Every structure is written in C-alpha cells, then in structure tokens.
Amino acid sequence: MKAVIFVIGYLILAPFVGALLDGVDRVITARMQGRKGPCVLQPFYDLSKLFSKQMIAVNNVQLLLNLSYLGFIVISGSMLFGGTDILMCLFLLSTADMFLVMAASSDSSPFANMGAAREMLQMMAYEPLTLLVAVGFYLAAGTFHVGNIIQSAVSPVLYMPGMLLGFMFTSAIKFRKSPFDLSTSHHAHQEMVKGITTEMSGPTLAIMNIAEYYEKVLILGIFALFFINSSWWSWPVAIVFCLAIYFMEILWDNVSARLHWKTLLTSCWLVTLLTAGVNLLILILMK
C-alpha cells in the first residue's frame, strides 16, 4: 500500500518538484553570477508556453521516440519509488536514455547527431558507477530490493561513502551540468547549438523537459537511498542531504567550464574506479 502511494506520489509530484528545483537552480545560478534571475516558477511558464506552441517537426518518429523516453523514465522512477529492484531500475533508465539517443539520431541532422554521439559517450562514462552503486547497496543491505534497503538498521552511506562521492561526481552528467554537459546544455552560444534537443520544438521539447524533471527526481531518490534507514528521522535528513548535494552540483556548474569528452570519460572512469571500486573491495573484504 505504501509502495502504491509512493508511486502515485512520484507520478504526480515529480514533474512539479523537478520543475521547482530547476527554477530554484536558475535563481541560485543567477545570484551566483550577480544577476537577479527569473522567477522561481519560470520552468512552469516555460512548459506551458512550449505546450501552447505550434507543433513543428523534422520527421514523424521523433515525437514517438521522445514520448517513449518519457514513458521509460517514468516507469524506471516508479520502480525505484515502488521499492522494487534497483538494478533493474537502472537498467531501464539506460534503456530510456537509449530512446533519447535514438530520438536525436532519427533527425539525421549534424547537430543532433553530434549530441546523440556525445550522449552515448556520457552514458558510457556514468554507467559503470551506477551499476557499482547498485552492487554497493546489495552489499550494504543484502538486497537489491529498494523496499528492503530502506528498512536497514543503519544508513547505507556508512558502508559506501566512496560510492556516494563517485555518484556525486558522475551525477553532474545526469543533471546536465557543467563540466559534463556535453550532449546538450541550458546555455546558448555553443559549438553544437542545442545538441540532442536541436530539432525538438514546442511540445516535443516540453516532453523532453518533463522527462528530465522525472529523471532529476529519480536521481535524487537514489541519493536519498544512501541516507535512509529504518528510523523516521532519516527521511528528513535524507531530503536535506539531497538538497545540499543539489546545491553543490549547482555550485560546480557555475565554477567550471565544459570539458573535452576525453577528460570526461577518463575522469569518470578513474573516479569510479578509485571511489566505487575501492569501496567495493573494502565491502567485499568486510563480508
């Protein structure tokens, strides 16, 4: 019953929470840059505008693939919040991402193609870590099942601080933040226009944005999983930590420039190995 409430809550609230976080992000970013910035509700205005625009497209399959992307993200998130297998949830998340890559490649346009290629590279960069994080949860809590992980006596983060560190590092990719915003970015004037979203317009882009919001909440959910244990007060603590991590991502976004893909790949893989790999080794030796 609890799971059902969580899933419904995720389905309904995630886009709002995601959009709100995005709005806060834009305000904080503006303040960091010495500007006033838009209203906190700006992402909602953007979304409603995008939905009211005329539908233009470059082919007939992009919308289908984009909608599928949204669909799979939503299902993947529901699996996490419904308390099922975290590894399966991550696998499905990659599948969802693959639909985004296909949506971009279906345009057969230079900029979207370049974005798609970079998106694939980003997937390759963060994928090892996400799998290792799932393994870490398995070792810390003895199960891949999210419903059981949250029942553990102590927070998993005590067993896997390295993994948390690594996940914070690579989740900049998932949040599409500098220095890892290779495939698309919220900022204009760049070498690849809008990357994967170049040919997405109006409602199609709005769908993409909503999917991003769902994904953002999903990633934050995994962060929360690091902190949650069987006691009730771990939940607010987890939320506070999530917000703090999100703030750190924003800070990092603002103080760093975009990296070359090679640096992205090697740094992510190296960080994965050093944080998650070492953490994993210790966990297995501890067993």
Partner 1 sequence: MGKLSKSPWLLHYDASSCNGCDIEVLDCLTPRYDVERFGVINTGDPFQADILLITGGVNSQTAPVVKQLYSQMPEPKVVLAVGICACTGGVFKECYNIRGGIDTVIPVDIYVPGCAARPEAIIDGVVKAVKLLDEKKEKIRAQKGREEQPGGTYGSEK
Partner 2 sequence: MILIPVLIGIPTFLAILIPFIRSGEARGKIVYVGSGCIMAATVAMLISWGNQGAHSIQLYTAAEAVDHLMSLGDIFLMCLILYMSIRYRKVLPAVLSVAQTGLLLYVEANTSLPEAEHMMIDWLTVLMCIIIAFVGGFICIYTVGYMKGYHAHHKEYQDRQPFFFSMLFLFLAAMFGLVFSQSLIWMYFFWEITSVISFLMIGYTRTEEAIENSFSALWMNLLGGLGFSVAIALLAFGNGSVQLSDTVATGAALPLACLALAGLTKSAQLPFSTWLYGAMVAPTPSSALLHSATMVKAGVYLLLRLSPALHDNLVGLMVSLIGGFTFIMASMMAIAQNDGKKVLAFSTISNLGLIVACAGTGVEETVWGAVFLMIFHSVSKSMLFQAVGATENCLGSRDIEDMHGMLLRLPKLTYIMGIGIAGMYLAPFGMLISKWVALKAFVDSGNVVLVIFIAYGSATTMFYWTKWLSKLISQHHAREGVKDVTCRDEYVSMFVHAAIMLLLCLLLPFVATTVVDPIVAEMFGHSQAVLSMGVLTTMAVMLVSILIVPTIMFFVSKAARRQLVEIYMAGVNKGDNRHFVNSFGGDTHLYLSNWYLRFEFGRRHLLHPSIYLSAVVIVVIFCLLIGGAV
Q: Is 87 in the site for partner 2 (CB under 8 A)?
A: yes
Q: Is 102 in the site for partner 2 (CB under 8 A)?
A: yes
Sign of CA dihedral 180, 126, 102, 13: negative
Contact partner at residue 52 from partner 2, partner 1, none, CB < 5 to 8 Å by partner kind: partner 1
Q: Is 59 in the site for partner 2 (CB under 8 A)?
A: yes
Give the distance, in angstroms, between the CA of residue 186 and the centroid of all CA atoms in the same chain. Answer: 15
To the nearest whole angstrom, how small is the minimum distance from the Cβ of residue 95 to partner 2?
5
Stretch that binds partner 2, among 16-24, 80-88, 177-185, 218-226 (CB under 8 A): 80-88
Return d(Cα 283, Cα 57) in angstroms, integer: 50
Output the CA angle 109-111-113, nearest 5 degrees: 65
For tokens 């994080």, the residue is 133
Among 24, 28, 40, 75, binds partner 2 (CB under 8 A): 75
For tokens 């006033």, the residue is 36
Burial class (CB in 10 A: 0-12, 13-18, 19+), 252: middle
Give me 91's structure tokens. 């696998």
For partner 2, the closer of residues 125 and 172 by Cβ is 125
Among 72, 180, 226, 246, binds partner 2 (CB under 8 A): 72
To the nearest whole angstrom, how small is the minimum distance from the Cβ of residue 8 to partner 1?
28
Contact partner at residue 190 from partner 2, partner 1, none, CB < 5 to 8 Å by partner kind: partner 1
Binding-site ranges for partner 1 (CB under 8 A):
26, 30, 33-39, 42, 45-46, 48-49, 52-56, 188-190, 193-194, 197-202, 205
Q: Which of residues 110-169 bind partner 2 (CB under 8 A)?
A: 110-113, 116-117, 120-121, 123-125, 127-129, 131-132, 135, 138-139, 144-145
Contact partner at residue 242 from partner 2, partner 1, none, CB < 5 to 8 Å by partner kind: none
Quick one: angle between helices 234-255 and 202-227, nearest 10? 130
Stretch (H or E) spanning 209? helix 202-227
For partner 1, the closer of residues 62 and 234 by Cβ is 62
To the nearest whole angstrom, how small is the minimum distance from the Cβ of residue 253 to partner 2?
24
- Calculate the CA dihedral of residues 189, 267, 278, 131 and round it to 10 degrees: 50
Give me 179's structure tokens. 């220095």
State the amino acid at position 134 in one-letter form.
A
Contact partner at residue 231 from partner 2, partner 1, none, CB < 5 to 8 Å by partner kind: none
Return d(Cα 268, Cα 240) in angstroms, integer: 26
Taking Cα atoms as reference points, which of 128, 107, 125 lies closest to residue 116?
A: 107
In whole angstroms, how far apart are CA 6 and each of 9, 10, 80? 5, 6, 9
To the nearest whole angstrom, how small is the minimum distance from the Cβ of residue 49 to partner 2?
17
Give me 283's structure tokens. 């966990």
Residues at the site binding partner 2, with contacts judged by CB under 8 A: 54-64, 67-68, 71-72, 75, 79, 84-85, 87-88, 91-92, 94-95, 98, 101-102, 104-113, 116-117, 120-121, 123-125, 127-129, 131-132, 135, 138-139, 144-145, 193, 198-199, 203, 262, 269, 272-273, 277, 280-281, 284, 287
